[in-house]
Amino acid sequence: MKPYLKKLMNREHLTVTEMKEAANYCFTTDVTETEIAGFLTALQIKGETADEITGLVEVIRAKSSYQTSPIQDAMDNCGTGGDGSNSFNISTTSAFVIAGAGVTVAKHGNRSISSKTGSADVLEHLGVSLSFSNEHVSEMLAENKIAFLFAPHVHEALRPFSVVRKHLGLPTIFNAIGPLTNPIELDTQLIGVYRKDLLPIIAEAAKKLGRRRAVIVNGAGSMDEASLAGDNHLIILEDGKLTETTIHPETVGLSIYPNESIRGGDAKENAEILKSVLNGIPGPYLDTVLLNAGLGLFTNGKAKSPQEGIELARESIQSGAALERLQHLVAYSKKIPSGVY
């Protein structure tokens, strides 16, 4: 570990290969918690690069037991978290809308980190299992167009890192890479980031990791979701090229709302908000999901523009298809053993 620590302390970047070597060492029995803590801290102080993110993500994904064959057009819409907005579960709600529109969504997520309620917390309250096996995930993706992959369950090898991160209590590279570590071989991906400076870094990493198409968004007010509060900054990855753009709610036919209007609560409250959106109740919660689901459908290529994506998202909700995806996932969850995570 020392050669890598010395480079980082000298503010020198690691190559993809060097990062993979260092990360793999962190999974051995020879490594100490002190070495892992030093490694993560040095990376954070220097600032992560696309190569370093790519190397770490490739190692993490290789360590997951959830190895599947490529699923045609599979996508995820998980954000990094960390924006401190205490919003409701936007990407989780949007995932059911995207799936209801016919796109396969391998939804990757965790319990609460920066908000009151994480995706796992609200889904667990709704009756969705956090213990899906590889076979369960494959079956749900095939017949329901959506499955949930609970990060600690699909990345059990990361527990040593989790312990160190908990002891550190400080942001690390893991706060940026969560969405990219989805073990399913994704074709497309919508990624929300809470730091605008991460946009080009995550976009370049997504390119290196082989995403055919991706949209990385930093929402108005530094949200890790698209926001109705103003301009949202995007980088679009397509055909190996990165293009910067912005999207404002009014340009796609949606009203402006402050971010305070979409705050959530505990798992019970957020579950009620999620169901209200899938039942088409008008208001800022619904419009926020329409914007984010619309961007997801645009990212996947189901829609040719965000505006068309929003209309497809609206149809997914109004037809009841989005709600059916949730109901099917809950019903399936009742048939399988529950684990404790």
> Across the chain, how many H-helices and E-strands are there?
15, 7
On whether 294 is known to bind a ligand per the annotation, the reply is: no
Known binding residue 236? Answer is: no
Dist. CA 158–CA 305, nearest whole Å? 38
Binding site annotation covers 108? yes
Residue 319 assigned as binding residue: no
Please check if 107 is assigned to a binding site. yes
Q: Provide the CB-side half-sphere exposure for 74 (13 A, CA).
A: 23
User: Distance between CA atoms of 254 and 222, rounded to whole angstroms?
Assistant: 19
CB 78, CB 178: distance < 8 Å: yes
Check the annotation: does 63 bind a ligand. Answer: no
Residue 53, marked binder: no
89 is in an annotated binding site: yes
279 is in an annotated binding site: no
The verdict on whether residue 211 carries a ligand-binding annotation is no
Q: Is residue 275 annotated as involved in ligand binding?
A: no
* Residue 270 annotated as binding site: no
**Is 224 annotated among the ligand-binding residues?**
yes
Ligand-binding annotation for 144, yes or no, is: no
Residue 310 counted as an annotated binding residue: no
**Is 111 known to sit in a ligand binding site?**
yes
Continuous H helices in 127-266? 134-144, 151-154, 159-168, 174-177, 199-208
Binding site per annotation, positions for Mg(2+): 91, 224-225
Binding site per annotation, positions: 79, 82-83, 87, 89-92, 107-115, 119, 165, 224-225
Binding site per annotation, positions for 5-phospho-alpha-D-ribose 1-diphosphate: 79, 82-83, 87, 89-92, 107-115, 119
Binding site per annotation, positions for anthranilate: 79, 110, 165
